[in-house]
Structure 1
């Protein structure tokens, strides 16, 4: 492991806005009250990477609480540090495996989920690892409030098509579907948030897909 990664791992251990593995457990069912010290809605970004979307959402919506989730602490470091430096109180980060989500959040504790540019896991043998596979959707259903929204933003056409197919197969409610977000009528201030990698995709003239749906 490089020196920079080791330094970041050591530093995030001192950040009040980052919880890791075991120390995230006591907040299950109480993230708003015990972590954020309020009763505002809780929104998750899964596989948040450097936390760019999480932090920007928190800037736009100070009346909501945002938690970025990723297992790679050296990535979380950037978003957490930005939130500290800019004194953004309504953002936090949790370093866990997403498949263990239900161990860290209570039933119907979460109001909304964002999945932004996840690993598409293109091999058929890795379908269960896709963050929009039925296996993961079932986990989200346990922590999401009834009618809570799931947003998928991806440059990967196959993941977009796969997710739309699962939404239809499972009889879920689809609200927005577009294969070319920035040439569609759906663009909003929220969807205009662009991560570092998304900007690179756009420079390469890649289309950006977007889906919004709920599980019931």
Structure 2
């Protein structure tokens, strides 16, 4: 591991807005009250990477709490550092494997979930690792409040189509679907937040897909 990664791992452990692994379990069911010290809604970004979307959402919606989740601490470091330096108090980061989500969030604790540009896991043998596969959808259903929204933003046409299929197969409620977000009527202030990688995709003239759905 490079020296820069090691430095970031060490530094992120000192950040007040980062919770790592088992240290997050005591917050289960109490993220708003005990971590953010308020009663505001909780929103998750899964596989948040550098946390750009998480931080931008937190800036747009100061009356909501945002938690970016990823396992790679050297990535979380960037978003957490930006939030601290900019004084964005309604954002936190949790370093865990997304498979363990139910150990960290109680039933109905989350108001909304974002998945932005995840690894599409295109190989059929890796379907279970796709963040919109049925095993993950079941976890999201448990932690989301009734009527809570799921958002998937991706440059990968295959993952977009796969997710749309699962929405139909499981009789979920589809609210928005577009295969070309920035040439649609849906590209509002929230959906126009662009991460570093999304900017690269757009420079390569890749279309951006978006799905919004709920479980009930």
Q: 1:18-167 to 2 correspondence within 5 Å?
A: 18-167=18-167
Partner of 2:204: 204
CA RMSD of aligned residues (A): 0.4
Partner of 1:213: 213
What per-residue deviation string (whole Å, max 9, x for no partner) do you get for residues 2-39 of structure 1?
A: 10111001101100100000110110000000000000
Partner of 2:176: 176
Q: Hey, what's the Cα distance between the residues in 1 that align with 2:131 and 2:164?
A: 13
Q: Hey, what's the Cα distance between the residues in 2 that align with 1:75 and 1:12?
A: 10
**CA displacement at 1:185 relative to structure 2:** 0.6
What per-residue deviation string (whole Å, max 9, x for no partner) do you get for residues 105-159 of structure 1?
A: 0110000000000000000010000000000000001100011000000000000
Q: Hey, what's the Cα distance between the residues in 2 that align with 1:22 and 1:177?
A: 37
Q: Hey, what's the Cα distance between the residues in 1 that align with 2:13 and 2:196?
A: 25
Number of aligned residue pairs: give it. Answer: 216
Q: TM-score, normalised by structure 1?
A: 1.00
**CA displacement at 1:215 relative to structure 2:** 1.2
Gapped regions of structure 2 (runs ≥ 5): none
What per-residue deviation string (whole Å, max 9, x for no partner) do you get for residues 33-63 of structure 1?
A: 0000000000000000000000000000000
The runs of 4+ residues in structure 1 deviating greater than 4 Å are none
Gapped regions of structure 1 (runs ≥ 5): none
Q: Hey, what's the Cα distance between the residues in 2 that align with 1:11 and 1:215?
A: 39
Q: Secondary structure at the match of 1:193?
A: coil
Q: TM-score, normalised by structure 2?
A: 1.00
